[in-house]
Amino acid sequence: MAKTIQNTPAPSILMNSMRSIGYSFKTALADIIDNSISAGAKNVYINVPINDDNLFISIIDDGSGMSDDDLFNAMKYGSDRKYSETDLGRFGLGLKSASLSQCRVLTVLSKMNSTVSGYKWDLDAVESSKKWDCIYLESDDYSQIPNFDKFNKMPEGTMVVWQNFDIAFRKSNGRVREYLSDEVDEAEKHLALVFHRFLSNRFKPFRIFINNDPVIPVDPFLEDHPKTDTKKSSDLTLNGEIIKVQPYILPHQSDLSAEDIEKIGGIESLRGGQGFYIYRNDRLIIHGTWFRLASANISSELLKYGRIKVDIPNALDDVWDIDIKKQNATIPKQILNNLKKAVSDVNSRSSEKSTKRAKLTLEKDNSKIWNKSLSKNGKEVYYINKDSEFVRSFLDEFEDSDRNKIINFIDVVSTAIPFDDIYTSICNKRNETAITDSQFDSIVVEGLAQFRRIKGIIQKSDEEVFRVLTKNEPYNNSQVSNRIWEIIQNEK
């Protein structure tokens, strides 16, 4: 007769495996702050090292704190506490997995009813004993913990301390403090965006401090700007739960002050921040993507002022594929068409805003890589046409975030063209700019790849596909087209 037996996982193997599930420093730090918010904290104090003598990072909050039993349970992998519908946690793994993804020693102290409790996970000790040995801290041990004096002055709350940064050591060739300093700078930007709705809540104040400096929230929707176009919100029902959808169209860049640019998170965020913003209980999960609901040319330009805020409850975590790290999500098929319509509406308004400012365009031909327009002072300006068939087919191969980086690079290249030098060179030499051998070879290789893509789509003869290809730059160059056709014939 079948029977059940205990099959306990090896502690050191499991703990080390959980370190590698994909937390970055900033997402790990955000996961700790999730717990502080769930505990009702009004303030979170992050302290980072200022010298090499005692490298640690502490996160202290003034939340409700935990009893000894509750803290011991919280330190368990897969803690079995009940989660409410407003909790930011869900899996009972975040505190341990997030922390130990960055360090080898995790210490947690919590104060409740004036009583301090403390436990520690030390990976070296677990690997040595090969047991789930969580270290119980006596009151005499507390004074040895970094920042205990600051924590102990608080009436209640919790302190998380990270020590022994082995991964940082390997990544930085031993320059751990400099590495952590850079990571904290990047994390500050991340926290300012992920928790911006908490940080800007006037009715329920919440603040994050890094070495006593407050984290200033980012406003990806510029909701207070008079020229932000806030569209009508809508409610979608999924499995009996309500999903709220709120589109925004940002002001045109020329209507934004330096302060507005800073508030939105920098000039890169104007285009790079376009897309969906998925929130779970006001906490940002994923942003800056259209989930491939917009084609490359639309997302790059016509939608660059568009943002769509989507609020989901944590009861739909499984339907949205929310992962442990709370940094990925997938749109459920049941509401895909509704969100496609939201993208279409935003595209219509955002493109209208873009084209109103494009009246100075002299010529726009999407068969050409380069187009020409007039600047505000009436001078002709040449720019790379991001809507050209060549650029669009290239961008289609990338995810939204990568496309935006490439488009930013294209814009920089367009503005850095040395027109005067080119003009002088052409006048002196009285000839067209020649294609180098390496450029020629690259264009031919890419042209052949384009030929195969087009043929796979339209299913026409080689001759018809070739005519479609060579209507566009740079394949309309006679030398290039002749070489492409020669290779096509040789492949038969």
Greatest CA separation for the chain: 95
- Residue 360: what residue type? L
**Which SS3 state, helix, strand or coil, does residue 102 take?**
coil
Mean pLDDT of 437-450: 78
If one compares 123 and 485, the residue with the highest pLDDT of the two is 123
Which residue, chain included where needed, has tokens 């008079």? 226
The percentage of the chain sitting over the pLDDT mark of 70, rounded to a whole number, equals 83
pLDDT in tens, 184-201: 999 999 999 999 999 999
Q: Report whether pLDDT(70) > 90.
A: yes
Q: pLDDT value at position 216?
A: 95
**Which SS3 state, helix, strand or coil, does residue 36 take?**
helix
Per-residue confidence band for 114, with pLDDT thresholds at 50, 70 and 90: very high
What is the C-alpha R_g of the chain? 28
Q: Quick one: DSSP state of residue 436? A: P
**Which SS3 state, helix, strand or coil, does residue 92 take?**
coil
Tell me which of 137-146, 303-312, 474-483 is least confident: 474-483
Mean pLDDT of 94-120: 94
Q: Report whether pLDDT(405) > 70.
A: yes
| DSSP output for 443-482 | HHHHHHHHHHHHHHHH---HHHHHHHHTTSTTTTSHHHHH
Q: Report whether pLDDT(362) > 70.
A: no
Tell me the C-alpha distance between 166 and 148, whole Å.
23
Per-residue tokens: 121: 């996970």
Per-residue tokens: 412: 């920089």
Tell me the C-alpha distance between 90 and 67, whole Å.
20
Tell me which of 91-105, 142-156, 438-452 is least confident: 438-452
* H-helix segments, 44-158: 68-74, 94-100, 123-129, 148-152
Structural fold of domain 11-214: Heat Shock Protein 90 (3.30.565)
Question: Taking Cα atoms as reference points, which of 295, 288, 272, 278 lies closest to residue 329?
Answer: 278
Q: Quick one: DSSP state of residue 53? A: S
Q: pLDDT value at position 23?
A: 92
Tell me which of 187-196, 247-256, 297-306 is least confident: 297-306
Q: Report whether pLDDT(431) > 50.
A: no
Q: Report whether pLDDT(162) > 90.
A: yes
Q: pLDDT value at position 139?
A: 92
Tell me which of 194-198, 265-269, 325-329, 397-401 is least confident: 397-401
pLDDT in tens, 26-55: 999 999 999 999 999 999 999 987 777 789
Q: Report whether pLDDT(78) > 80.
A: no
* 8 Å CB contact between 230 and 219: no
Q: Report whether pLDDT(205) > 50.
A: yes
Backbone phi, psi, residue 230, to 5°: -90, 110
Q: Report whether pLDDT(281) > 50.
A: yes
Mean pLDDT, the chain, as a whole number? 83
Q: Report whether pLDDT(483) > 80.
A: yes
Intra-chain end-to-end CA distance of the chain, in Å: 67
Total residue length of the chain: 492
Q: Quick one: DSSP state of residue 213? A: E
Mean pLDDT of 117-135: 94
Using omega within 30 degrees of 0 as the cis cutoff, is the peptide bond preceding 332 cis? no
Q: Quick one: DSSP state of residue 390? A: H
* H-helix segments, 2-64: 11-18, 25-38
CATH dotted code for 229-356? 3.30.230
Tell me the C-alpha distance between 83 and 80, whole Å.
9
Element (H, E) at 351: helix 336-356
Q: Report whether pLDDT(90) > 80.
A: no
